[in-house]
Structure 1
Amino acid sequence: MRVAILDDEPAELARVEQTLREIPGPGEAPWTLHRFERGEDLLRQLRRETFDLLILDWQLPDLSGLSLLRWTREHMDAPPAAIMLTSRDAESDIVQALNSGADDYLSKPFRPNELKARVNAVLRRHGLQRNNSEELLSFNDLTFDDAELTVTRARVPISLTEREYRLARCLFANLGRPLSREYLYERFWTHEEIASSRPLDTHIYRLRNKLGLTADRGWQLLTIYGYGYRLESVAAPDQQGH
């Protein structure tokens, strides 16, 4: 779970970060928290990196949290979930933020347990947390079994390593959403592994072949130059024109 926290008060940033670290990570994904004191700094990162959740203060000395929220909704194909966390508590402010695309709104000073509950609720709505009983998930003819870490096509097992499974599961859980290289590296590799080779490119190549992520099977795994990858569902050739 990759989270960006925006607040121009270092003490508040630290308090939010500490609260989020007390929430268990969803599934296999660890929490990675990124702190920003300037809206412009976060905006630069949003242009080149992937985040699952934004926690935004409203009033900042440069770019306001509300302006940043609106930018994500207007310019990103799949904007991350967003929670406004601000001292502004007028009803008109809350309505304005929610109408601008915020998933939730909390007033400062926040109560840690309430923030945890609101974060979990937003992540569930966005499908970033799933019920432990939901172990099987199907995409066309591919079925993922999270309990056994296996993939089958028409009940025939496909041989994947654990890391290949988790990477594939992440791509399918984010269909249509661009995922930056840094986002994927943070989730699935250590710094030592990254420095020694180009493991992500190798794994993407293997998944394309093993899972048949090609247009004739209804998939397109795109390389986004300078950014990362995006898996898309497309109409197979025998379905086009019907």
Structure 2
Amino acid sequence: MRVAILDDETAELQRLEQTLQSMDESQRAPWLTHCFCRGEEMLRRLKRERYDLLILDWQVPDISGLQILKWSREHLEDSPPVIMITSRDSEQDVVRALNAGADDYICKPFRPHELRARILAVMRRRGGVRPAEAERSQFGDLLFDDAELCVSRAGQPVTLTEREYRIARYLFNNLGRPLSREYFYERFWPHEEVHSSRPLDTHIYRLRNKLGLSPEHGWQLLTIYGYGYRLERVGDEQAH
């Protein structure tokens, strides 16, 4: 679970980060927090990185949390849930934030147990609204089955490890978006597992071959030097 937190008060950022890191998510990956004290810095990262949850303070000196919220709803195809945490507690402000797309609104000073409960409630609501058919997704001749963690290509099953499947799924969920190596390692490698760029590069190489991620099949998996990878759909005129 990758969470981006925006707050210009260092003490508040630390308190939020500690609250998030104390959450028990034993069945999934750990809670990974990314803290920002300036809205402009967070906006730059949102354009390049994918997060599962945004926690935003409204009043930040440069780009406010409300502006970040509006930008995420307008520009991110798979916009993450957003919780506003702010000292602005008037009914008018609450309504304004909710109308802009906030999933919840918490007034400062926040209570850690309440925050944890609200976060889990927001994530459950977001997970519950997805239709059952979303467990199976078609991309060209590739069919992903999230329930079985398997993929078929042109009707033929492709043998993938669980990690390969999850990496491939996220590449296709983020078509056209650059994804950093840091992102993949945070998502798919245990913390205790020592890593370099090599294991990820090996997985990417295998996926290119197994899934046919090449221009003749309608896909291009690009290596972004010094950063990571981006999967793109090639125009129909190049695909067979």
- TM tier, smaller: 0.7 to 0.9
In structure 2, what is the equivalent of residue 3 of structure 1?
3
CA apart distance, 1:72 = 2.6
Distance in 2 (alpha carbons) for counterparts of 1:178 and 1:90: 39
Contact 1:57 1:85 in 2 (8 A): yes
User: Match of 2:11, SS?
Assistant: helix
The alignment-based identity, stated in percent, is 67
Contact 2:215 2:234 in 1 (8 A): yes
In structure 2, what is the equivalent of residue 65 of structure 1?
65
Name the count of aligned residue pairs: 237
**TM-score normalised by length of structure 1:** 0.72
In structure 2, what is the equivalent of residue 88 of structure 1?
88
In structure 1, what is the equivalent of residue 30 of structure 2?
30
Provide closer, same or farther for how the CA distance between residues 83 and 42 of structure 1 changes in structure 2, counting only shifts above 3 A: same
> Within 5 A, what are the aligned runs for 1:194-213?
194=196, 197-213=197-213
RMSD of the alignment, in Å?
Answer: 4.0
CA apart distance, 1:224 = 6.8
Cα-to-partner distance string for 1:20-68 (whole Å, 9 max, x where unaligned): 2233348543321112222233223223332221101111233221122
Distance in 2 (alpha carbons) for counterparts of 1:222 and 1:201: 12
CA apart distance, 1:127 = 3.8
In structure 2, what is the equivalent of residue 53 of structure 1?
53
> Within 5 A, what are the aligned runs for 1:132-147?
137=136, 139=138
Cα-to-partner distance string for 1:216-238 (whole Å, 9 max, x where unaligned): 8786656678865455789989x
CA apart distance, 1:108 = 1.5
In structure 2, list runs of 5 or more residues that go unmatched: none
In structure 2, what is the equivalent of residue 240 of structure 1?
none
Distance in 2 (alpha carbons) for counterparts of 1:21 and 1:167: 24
Cα-to-partner distance string for 1:203-226 (whole Å, 9 max, x where unaligned): 223213213446887866566788
In structure 2, what is the equivalent of residue 193 of structure 1?
195
Provide closer, same or farther for how the CA distance between residues 81 and 175 of structure 1 changes in structure 2, counting only shifts above 3 A: farther
Cα-to-partner distance string for 1:78-130 (whole Å, 9 max, x where unaligned): 43322111111111111211222222211122232332232223323444999
Distance in 2 (alpha carbons) for counterparts of 1:129 and 1:28: 20
Provide closer, same or farther for how the CA distance between residues 27 and 221 of structure 1 changes in structure 2, counting only shifts above 3 A: farther
Contact 1:83 1:105 in 2 (8 A): yes
Contact 1:137 1:143 in 2 (8 A): yes
Distance in 2 (alpha carbons) for counterparts of 1:179 and 1:123: 23
Distance in 2 (alpha carbons) for counterparts of 1:110 and 1:85: 8
Q: Which structure would you say has the larger RCO, counting Cα contacts within 8 Å and 6 or more residues apart?
A: 1
In structure 1, list runs of 5 or more residues that go unmatched: 238-242
In structure 1, what is the equivalent of residue 116 of structure 2?
116
Q: Which has the higher mean CA deviation after the structures are superposed, 137-146 or 63-72?
A: 137-146
Equivalent residue letter for 1:59: Q
Equivalent residue letter for 1:167: I
Provide closer, same or farther for how the CA distance between residues 145 and 236 of structure 1 changes in structure 2, counting only shifts above 3 A: same
Distance in 1 (alpha carbons) for counterparts of 2:205 and 2:29: 22
Contact 1:26 1:128 in 2 (8 A): no
User: Match of 1:93, SS?
Assistant: helix
Provide closer, same or farther for how the CA distance between residues 49 and 153 of structure 1 changes in structure 2, counting only shifts above 3 A: closer
Contact 1:6 1:37 in 2 (8 A): yes
